Structure 1
Amino acid sequence: MPKSVGERLPAAPPQEVTELLHDKRFQAAVAEQATEQGRPEEEVWSEVKGYLHEMSAAHDERTSQGWVRMGEWFLRAYDVLVDEDDMHALKRLDRSHSLALAFSHRSYLDGMVIPNALAARRFSPTYTFGGANLNLPVIGTVASRTGLIFIRRSTQEIPVYRLALRSYIRQMVTNKRNMAWSIEGGRTRTGKLRPPVHGILKYLTDTVDGEEAPDVQVVPVSVVYDQLHEVSLMTEEARGGSKTPEDWRWLVRFARLQRNRLGRAYLTVGEPFSLRERMAELEADGVTGHAAVERVALDISHRLNRATPVTVTAIVSLSLLGADRALTVDEVLETVEPLAAYIDARKWPVAGAADLRDRSTIRRALAELARSGVLTAYDGGTEPVWKIGDDQHLVAAFYRNTVIHILVERAIGELALLTVSELEPDAELPAGGELQVGWEEAKRMRDLLKFEFFFPSRAGFEDDLRTELQLLVGEGVTEMTPVRARELLVNARPHLAHLVLRPFLDAYLVLADRLADRGDSPVDEDDLLKDSLAVGQQWALQRRVASAESISLELFRTAMALARHKGLLDGGEGVGSAREAFAAELREAVRRVNVIGEIAGEPVQVVLPETKSEPQPQDAS
């Protein structure tokens, strides 16, 4: 039974709980659960009621008004900018549908930005799912009366809890309640979207299943910030530090941090869609069950990325991380100019409609980043210069990564062109010739990075690459030669592969090297991560990797997911050779992004590690 069940409830159970307890379908489900577990039905009923009371929430008007004021106080570090046109369209949808607001999660503040923005525009009350770790004494009692639903994160061993939560969500949709939850499950540690979790979404898809089932409109909601006080703590975790537990002391420290102004927070709304219609489309295509839930989760993530605007902070961080030296304002502008042109050409939104080419806009972003300690400024010479501060590379990378999704396909396209440009005159070519070589290289890189970024389907990915080539050439591309590919690369603006992909590939190479060092032996994953952190730090000092931002547990974990997918973590005869091939594949990928850096005029002097042998790279299937 849950601890302190019922202590934080209003005087009467919320409507959904009362209705569920009298619902015949729910009563039958509880009886079935008791039979499956071989337990008395009364015992299971007692347990399920306790869980319903634990997770249930209500909207008390007076408490909610006070909560909004507290949210405004917590958000005092920011001016919150909302796209009013999007919100007006969403308001019309709110009148007739239950809205499932799936938001990106970069900060604990997200749970205040979204409900406050909706309440200020008189939306129907929103119920927000939050981790039970945030259910602190006293404040948890208050929060539950403002629509905050505290749920447990690990429920695999508690089938009765899962039954209660699934049924509660179904009743919320039936009553046309609006719900909000993080599709990532928890805060990102890198700035870009984490892989989606399926818990809440799975229960929503169960709810809309059936001819007479209620529908729900899924609404991707992006919240992005100029800067965040939390980032330095998250980067400490990425270096192997312990996560600070959420308690009253943590909350007080978090509140105090917000005293210092950090610019703006931007709330934007992605394209909504009917969950029932989307599930029907997938079923018609033969995609059902867990695979369908995965596809919907990826749909949401793609729409979230498309809705996320480019911030000036992100572009300035990208410029300085790429240079990894002090730059003047003019040098930053020179780096930003081709990026701004590219963003315009791709019609990506810019936060606050800022002009990325405006000198005062860039100077202000530099000053704000210096004030928060991300950059250091030196003005003792002929003109001021700025550089990434000591131990601040992961912080700057967090801000850059908020927009990295718009640059990845262009970066992969550059590597595909480089592969074509390096073809030998007598090279054996596939049926499609040199152009086909480029496509195959792009697809190989897509597979190598598929655990890091959300790519469209293979067909959609190829369409995007054609768009990138059209931007480079000015017309459709039907053929390619090594000379033409080299010419396009040399004249391209901007060059992105070294700025976007090198940190991830460097991190993958560190882990692949430590994995190869274990030969055919089985791997303890925690030990491999610890070893990668230690050796990665050594490589950063030796300049075997381009930047300290690659030495991150988050990136090593993704690399390990890729290695696991390739079957490289289990020991056995021959796996050592496959591990060597994996390291060789990554070493070659790093070499090629460094070549792009040299073409861009930003060579990085790194010493790539050698392996025991030079096996051929594995196919990345």
Structure 2
Amino acid sequence: MVSTINAIAELQQNAHSPVAFFNDMSKFVSGAGWRGFNDYIGARIYYNGLTEEIKDQVSNSPLIAAKVAALAENQLQREYWLRGSAREARKRQLILWLQDLADQQIDMMVCRMESTTTLRTLGFTMLEFIARAYHQGVHVDKLQIARLLETAKLASQKGISLVFLPSHKSHVDYIALYIICYRFGISMPVTVAGDNLNFAVAGKLLNNIGAMWIRRSFNNDELYATSVQAYIDTILTRGMNFDCFIEGGRSRTGKVLPPKYGILTFVLDSIFSGRVNDCYVIPVSCQYDKVIETESYISELLGKEKKKETLLDTLKNFDVMSLKLGRVDVRFHEAWSLRDYLTTKLHSRPEHSVSELSALDTTTRNWLIRSTGYKVLGDINAASMVMPSSIVATVLLTMRGRGIGYRELIRQVTLLVQRINNSAGKVADHTSPQQLLSSGVEVLGSMVGTERKGLLETTFYAADPFQLSFYRNMVIHLFISEAIVCIGIYTSVKRISSITYDELMQEVIFFSKLFSSEFIYPNNGIESNVKGTLMNMQAQNILKVNDNVIQLSEEEEIALRRENFDFYCFLIWPFVDGIWLAAVSLFALTPTIQEEATRKPSETLWIDREEFEKVSQSFGKTIYQQGEIQSYESVNKELLKSSYEKFISEGILLTRTSYVRIPRKLIALSPDWLPARNQHNAVKCEGKLWDFVGQISKGRREGKSRREIPDITSQVLGLSGEMALGFARELREVRTKRTKL
């Protein structure tokens, strides 16, 4: 068990006492003890004049001066007719205008950490919010906090920053990290935040405690990008702590998302260039028994437009203060020097002749940025705790049948905890499987159904599988190697009893490549990973390997009735179905016979990507209702979107941007992937796309019409044909309208 402390225990003890509430408030107002934030570790903040100091330092950055001069010169090149004094006057005018624009950008993004009064006010509000919403508290590991404080002291002595890189599942992530820094006396970090959260009143308050507002998209604005770089340089050279989310936006699916390299690239450029000597990177895992936003996430994943956050929406969320959402667990991976990591990584590749970070070519820099991003995600996964809600959700979503009795559920919870421990995972500290089950069922609420009336034993079932999948996905990283190996084995085992090692490697390589944007794999190479996974599963008596032939052990096949094997398959089957759906939807991009007759050989039939994704999701919902897909989560738009991105990277899909009226992303099937149609306008069952779908189908769970490969029924092909005709009609209408214009 992990030894933890509840960072907000003091406030929770007083949560239901009005007298204690006002007593706590008076302590925050007066700044008693740690609440005053007067004796903290790290760079000095919260003093009058800090904001102007930073703005002046950023504004006078050589980076901004050089960019302003370059942009002014570029404009003068366009105004080639200017000569002599007129050109010099115009140059001065451009430089003044660009510098003023840069100053405006800096003013919008710089945080104003000058008043501890604001910190105490918001600190009290945030602590009260968390204490009431998450009734079991915010838990941290005692040893990790002690280590974090030592790292903060060392960084302060060296004058370098702590760069916190947390996972991102909820807006509560911001609050949890701020509470921990505030409570344990660590200099508050500057936090990168999208300007969509900079709404009235609350935006200003958040800016006063460290929120750095940046645009969601830079739109190739070179000056703005330089202003951001100069500000990050300033933060790091001053040794101020820094915080950004490596995944970019919040994960709507529960699992860790692939890294977004935007802000990380700025941080690494500070190191590459030598403008900043070093910083300590601290990957952070934030895990929840229950995430406040899951219902809105499900709506978004099913196609509902994301709403821009407003103060009203935030106030509406205060009704969660009366709920029992369990606990938040925040875990800190051991800090590491960014410069040391980059240097060591560079020297691990002997083909790189350059040893200095400042002299790297673009390819090597990009490789190091990518490596750093995935190292951070790996460290986040390694530090993560598995919550009771995730354990209950995982058990309910990886079983055959409609429900499970209490005694069997306890057995499965115990078995899953053993699997987690065997995979080097960590379970949030609870004393028994019964306590884990009770806690998980309590916070999941209506997502877990129970049936008692007229039954011999209380039976549990997944009442809301889609929402439960969010919590199951918090566990999947621990078993992704086993899951992909089992899917590879399943492609043969469901037809014959065994598979050769070479055949398995082909299947594992295929599915690993398909899901490379979905999951974070161990970084020791695919063949080494497969061999290690096979050895572990053989040691657990799940598999039997003889003369490079792999099959299920007799105990697994007969005595356990594939209990372990099914568990790993059930984890990944929804993702297999999702990418299969995306692949099948591509048949709708096949030109009809009529379009082929009028299309020139050099022409490509382009479709609006956003519209295609919407119709594809409707197609998925339809075939789910008709039993062609097992899990509703397989039709979520994030999985479809990432699948199409994968198809683009593999050359299956082409993409371009249309600038007619408004910029729009367009997609089309690559010519060598286009299926042919017969005289009835139906897609022929042949070609690269047909074979590709068939390869994915081999990994799908057996069910309705899915015993043969490829498992594309005439009904599914017919619906994809209707999609194609719909797009064709729309495109003809668009062409007609444009002609009239």
1:552 matches 2:636: yes
Look up the SS of the partner of 2:111 in the other structure.
coil
Please show how residues 45-56 of structure 1 align to structure 2 within 5 Å.
45-56=99-110
Alignment partner of 1:375 out of 448, 454, 465: 448
Indicate how the Cα distance of structure 1 residues 92 and 15 shifts in structure 2: closer, same or farther if over 3 A, else same. Answer: farther
Cα separation, 2, equivalents of 1:25 and 1:554: 37
Look up the SS of the partner of 1:387 in the other structure.
strand
Name the aligned partner's letter for residue 586 of structure 1. Answer: I
Name the aligned partner's letter for residue 494 of structure 1. Answer: N
**Residue in structure 1 matched with residue 416 of structure 2 by the alignment:** 339
Please show how residues 494-573 of structure 1 align to structure 2 within 5 Å.
494-495=564-565, 496-519=567-590, 522-569=606-653, 570-573=668-671
**Residue in structure 1 matched with residue 466 of structure 2 by the alignment:** 394
Name the aligned partner's letter for residue 134 of structure 1. Answer: L
Look up the SS of the partner of 2:191 in the other structure.
strand
Look up the SS of the partner of 2:291 in the other structure.
coil
Look up the SS of the partner of 1:377 in the other structure.
strand
Deviates more, 1:505-514 or 1:204-213: 204-213
Name the aligned partner's letter for residue 526 of structure 1. Answer: E
- Asked if 2 retains the 8 angstrom alpha-carbon contact of 1:329 and 1:362, the reply is no
Please show how residues 73-92 of structure 1 align to structure 2 within 5 Å.
73-75=128-130, 76-78=132-134, 79-92=137-150
1:20 matches 2:58: yes
Segments of structure 2 that go 5 or more residues without pairing to the other structure are: 1-46, 77-90, 353-362, 592-604, 654-667, 675-686, 715-741
Alignment partner of 2:393 out of 317, 339, 344: 317
1:217 matches 2:244: no
- Asked if 2 retains the 8 angstrom alpha-carbon contact of 1:580 and 1:611, the reply is no
Please show how residues 277-292 of structure 1 align to structure 2 within 5 Å.
277-284=340-347, 285=349, 286=352, 288-292=364-368
Shift of 1:33: 3.8
**Residue in structure 1 matched with residue 717 of structure 2 by the alignment:** none
1:447 matches 2:447: no
Look up the SS of the partner of 1:574 in the other structure.
helix
Cα separation, 2, equivalents of 1:523 and 1:18: 49
Shift of 1:179: 0.6
Cα separation, 1, equivalents of 2:316 and 2:209: 23
Indicate how the Cα distance of structure 1 residues 467 and 13 shifts in structure 2: closer, same or farther if over 3 A, else same. Answer: same
- Asked if 2 retains the 8 angstrom alpha-carbon contact of 1:519 and 1:575, the reply is no
Indicate how the Cα distance of structure 1 residues 360 and 206 shifts in structure 2: closer, same or farther if over 3 A, else same. Answer: closer
Look up the SS of the partner of 1:101 in the other structure.
strand
1:241 matches 2:241: no
Deviates more, 1:49-58 or 1:460-469: 460-469
Indicate how the Cα distance of structure 1 residues 44 and 423 shifts in structure 2: closer, same or farther if over 3 A, else same. Answer: same
1:32 matches 2:108: no
**Residue in structure 2 matched with residue 364 of structure 1 by the alignment:** 439
Indicate how the Cα distance of structure 1 residues 37 and 182 shifts in structure 2: closer, same or farther if over 3 A, else same. Answer: farther
Please show how residues 186-265 of structure 1 align to structure 2 within 5 Å.
186-210=249-273, 213-265=276-328
Shift of 1:239: 0.4
Cα separation, 2, equivalents of 1:275 and 1:62: 34
Deviates more, 1:26-35 or 1:441-450: 26-35
Name the aligned partner's letter for residue 168 of structure 1. Answer: Y
Deviates more, 1:147-156 or 1:273-282: 273-282
Cα separation, 1, equivalents of 2:545 and 2:569: 27
Cα separation, 1, equivalents of 2:586 and 2:316: 40
Larger radius of gyration: 2
Cα separation, 2, equivalents of 1:415 and 1:489: 16
Cα separation, 1, equivalents of 2:616 and 2:546: 42
Shift of 1:67: 1.5
Alignment partner of 1:71 out of 101, 126, 129: 126
Shift of 1:532: 2.3
Identity %: 22
Indicate how the Cα distance of structure 1 residues 106 and 37 shifts in structure 2: closer, same or farther if over 3 A, else same. Answer: farther
1:404 matches 2:455: no
Name the aligned partner's letter for residue 270 of structure 2. Answer: T
Shift of 1:140: 1.6
Shift of 1:559: 1.5
Measured against aligned partners, the alpha-carbon deviations of 1:73-127 in whole angstroms (never above 9, x if no partner) come to 2312111001121121122121223111111110011110001111111112211
Name the aligned partner's letter for residue 529 of structure 1. Answer: E
Look up the SS of the partner of 1:543 in the other structure.
coil
Shift of 1:529: 1.7
Indicate how the Cα distance of structure 1 residues 574 and 312 shifts in structure 2: closer, same or farther if over 3 A, else same. Answer: same
**Residue in structure 1 matched with residue 672 of structure 2 by the alignment:** 574
**Residue in structure 2 matched with residue 619 of structure 1 by the alignment:** none
Cα separation, 2, equivalents of 1:16 and 1:23: 11
Name the aligned partner's letter for residue 447 of structure 1. Answer: K
**Residue in structure 2 matched with residue 474 of structure 1 by the alignment:** 539
TM-score (norm 1): 0.87
Please show how residues 422-441 of structure 1 align to structure 2 within 5 Å.
434-441=500-507
- Asked if 1 retains the 8 angstrom alpha-carbon contact of 2:170 and 2:292, the reply is no
Shift of 1:347: 2.4
1:350 matches 2:427: yes
Name the aligned partner's letter for residue 45 of structure 1. Answer: Q
Shift of 1:41: 0.6
Look up the SS of the partner of 2:439 in the other structure.
helix
Shift of 1:579: 2.1
1:384 matches 2:447: no
- Asked if 2 retains the 8 angstrom alpha-carbon contact of 1:342 and 1:494, the reply is no
1:589 matches 2:699: yes
Alignment partner of 1:296 out of 372, 375, 384: 372
Cα separation, 1, equivalents of 2:691 and 2:606: 17
Measured against aligned partners, the alpha-carbon deviations of 1:206-263 in whole angstroms (never above 9, x if no partner) come to 1112457320111110101001221001100000011122112111112223331210
- Give me the CA root mean square deviation: 2.8
Name the aligned partner's letter for residue 408 of structure 2. Answer: E
Segments of structure 1 that go 5 or more residues without pairing to the other structure are: 1-8, 428-432, 595-603, 613-621
Shift of 1:423: 9.3
Cα separation, 1, equivalents of 2:424 and 2:74: 55
Cα separation, 1, equivalents of 2:104 and 2:438: 56
Shift of 1:418: 4.1
Deviates more, 1:69-78 or 1:161-170: 69-78
Please show how residues 108-119 of structure 1 align to structure 2 within 5 Å.
108-119=171-182
Shift of 1:440: 3.2
Shift of 1:512: 1.2
Shift of 1:265: 0.4
Deviates more, 1:218-227 or 1:487-496: 487-496
**Residue in structure 1 matched with residue 185 of structure 2 by the alignment:** 122
Alignment partner of 2:405 out of 328, 331, 336: 328
Alignment partner of 1:307 out of 365, 383, 387: 383
- Asked if 2 retains the 8 angstrom alpha-carbon contact of 1:511 and 1:529, the reply is no
Cα separation, 2, equivalents of 1:420 and 1:384: 38
Cα separation, 2, equivalents of 1:19 and 1:481: 64
Shift of 1:481: 4.8
Measured against aligned partners, the alpha-carbon deviations of 1:10-66 in whole angstroms (never above 9, x if no partner) come to 877343222233445543443334334446110111011111111101322111111
Cα separation, 2, equivalents of 1:283 and 1:367: 49
Shift of 1:173: 0.5
Shift of 1:439: 2.9
Name the aligned partner's letter for residue 500 of structure 1. Answer: L
- Asked if 2 retains the 8 angstrom alpha-carbon contact of 1:377 and 1:384, the reply is yes
1:267 matches 2:330: yes
Name the aligned partner's letter for residue 363 of structure 1. Answer: S
Cα separation, 2, equivalents of 1:147 and 1:51: 17
**Residue in structure 2 matched with residue 597 of structure 1 by the alignment:** none
Measured against aligned partners, the alpha-carbon deviations of 1:545-592 in whole angstroms (never above 9, x if no partner) come to 1121212111111221222222222335431232222211111121xx
